[in-house]
Amino acid sequence: MLRSLVLKSVLAVMAPLAALAACVAPQQTDVLVVDASAIFDGRDVIRDARLVVREGRVEAVGPQSEIAAPAGAEILDYGDRFLMPGMIASHSHVGTVSGTEHGGRFYSRETVERDLAQFQRYGVVAVNALGLNRPLFHELRKELRGPGHDGADLFGAGAGVGAVDGAPPMDRMGVMPDQAMRPATPEEARAAVRETAEAGVDIIKIWVDPMGGQVPKMPEAIYAAAISEAHAQGLRAAAHIHDLEDAKGVIRAGVDIVGHGVRDAPVDQELIALMLEQDVWYVPTINIDEANYIYAEHPEWLEDPFFLAALSPELEAQLRDEAWRQRALDGAGSARMAVMNNLRNLQRLHAAGVKVALGTDSGATALRIPGFAEHRELELLVLAGMTPTEALAAATANGAALMGLSDRGQLAPGFVADFLVLEADPTVDIRATRSLAEVWRGGYRVDQ
C-alpha cells in the first residue's frame, strides 16, 4: 500500500503517541522494496535494479540478482519504469513572481510555498534560492525543509551581496532594498557576509556583473572581501557573472561556484586552468537567456500538458498572445547570442573536466518557469555535449555536492529516499524526464 504525504503529516502530529505506543509493543519496521527496469543512482545506471528503503532512507540499491528483499518488506514492481534521485536546482529563486510580473513586493510565505510545491511537482526536491530573498527567508528556511513539509526543501543565500547602484538592479528587477546588501567598502562587505551568516543561510551570493555596462560592476576589493569572509564563516560563495573576465576575477578571489555561464566570449585556457586548479563549480543556466524567446518560438508547447501545468493563467495568456510573441522574437538577438556562447563554453569546460551542476535561474521572472525550466535545462546540457547520464548527474549528485548536502542527490545506502519514477528512460532521450509519473520524498509517495 502506498502512503501519502497527508498520512505522513497525520503521523507527524501523532508522533508522541506513537512513541508512547512503541514502549508498549514493538512497531513493525517500515521496509519498502522497489524494482524497476533501471535505476540511475546519481552517478551510474543500474539495469534490472532494486531499491530498498528503510524508514525513509536508502538501505540498498543494485541489481535485483544481488539484493534479496528483506523479510516483511512491501514490494513494488515498477516493471519497465525508470527511477532516479529527486532533482536539485542549484540556482533558482522563490517567492518573487506573480502572474507575468516579478519583484520583491510579491515575496511572502504563500508565494515561496507555491514555488516549492511547483518545484516538487516537477521532481525538484531541493532548491538553492540564490539571493533576492527577503528577511522572511531565514524563518522559512528552517520550516520548509525536511520531513513534514510538502514541497521542495528550501536552501539558499538569504538576500545576497550586490553592487552599489549595480546588480541586482533596483529598477529592472523590482528589487526591494532588503533583497540585496550593497557594501561600499571591503569592511562593509565582510560585515554584510557576517550578518547574513548569523541570520542563517546555506551559501553566500555575490553579484559582480555590470549588466552589459549599464550599471557599475562590483569592485574586486569588495567581492574578494565577501568571498574571504564567506569562507571564514564556513560557507561557500557563488557569483553572478556574465563575462569571461569577471569569471576569472571571482575565481582568482576564491569563489566556489560560478553561478551563470560565461556568455560574452569563448572561454580560454586560462579560465579552464583556473577552474580546474581551484575545483570550481560551473552552473551554466542556459535557459536564463533562452527563456526570453523560446516560448514565443514554440507555441505548440502550449499543447503539452507537462508544460501547461507549470503556467499561471496570466502567463499562459501572455504566451498565447500573438503580439507578445512577435515582440519577444523581434527582441531576441542578444539572448540568442548569449545562448550560443553559453552552449559552446559549456561544451569546452565540460570536455576539460570542469564540474557542472544544473541551475536555471527559475523563479526570478515569470518566464523562468520553476520545474519546467529544470527539465528544459537537462535538454540544453545534452545539446552542449553532455551525455544524458552526465546531465542527470548534474541535476542530482552534483547539485548535492555543490550545496554540501551529504545525504541527498543519490540513491545510495544512507541517503534520503527522495526519488522520481519515470515512464521512459532518459538515458535514451533526456526528454523522458518529462514522463514523470511519481515523486517520492523520504520514502513516501507524494500525492500529485
**Is residue 243 at the binding interface for Zn ion, with CB under 5 A as the rule?**
no
Nearest to Zn ion of 373, 416 (CB atom): 373
* Total residues binding Zn ion (CB under 5 A): 1
CB of 320 to Zn ion, least distance (A): 27
Stretch that binds Zn ion, among 158-166, 355-363, 409-417, 433-441 (CB under 5 A): 355-363
Per the CB < 8 A criterion, the answer to whether 44 and 184 are in contact is no
Rounded Cα distance between 343 and 347, Å, is 6
Which residue is nearest to Zn ion, using beta carbons? Answer: 361
Rounded Cα distance between 344 and 338, Å, is 10
Rounded Cα distance between 283 and 113, Å, is 24
Q: Which of residues 59-98 bind Zn ion (CB under 5 A)?
A: none
DSSP 440: E
Stretch that binds Zn ion, among 133-141, 168-176, 292-300, 354-362 (CB under 5 A): 354-362
CB of 64 to Zn ion, least distance (A): 42
Residues 6+ apart with CB under 8 A from 152: 89, 116, 117, 119, 120, 124, 125, 126, 127
CB of 169 to Zn ion, least distance (A): 13
CB of 423 to Zn ion, least distance (A): 32
CB of 93 to Zn ion, least distance (A): 6
The angle formed by the CA atoms of residues 156, 158 and 162, to the nearest 5 degrees, is 115
Stretch that binds Zn ion, among 95-103, 307-315, 348-356, 361-369 (CB under 5 A): 361-369
CB of 205 to Zn ion, least distance (A): 8
Q: Pick left, alpha or beta for residue 334 (phi over 0 → left; psi -120 to 50 → alpha; otherwise beta).
A: alpha
**Is residue 377 at the binding interface for Zn ion, with CB under 5 A as the rule?**
no
Residue type, 67: I
Q: What DSSP letter does each residue of 122-162 carry, written as one string?
A: TTEEEEEE-S---TTHHHHHHHSSSTT--SSEEEE-SS-B-
Nearest to Zn ion of 361, 418 (CB atom): 361
CB of 115 to Zn ion, least distance (A): 14
Tracing cell 519496521 back to the chain, one arrives at: 29
Nearest to Zn ion of 35, 361 (CB atom): 361
**Is residue 361 at the binding interface for Zn ion, with CB under 5 A as the rule?**
yes
Nearest to Zn ion of 202, 361 (CB atom): 361
For binding to Zn ion (CB under 5 A), which residues are involved?
Answer: 361
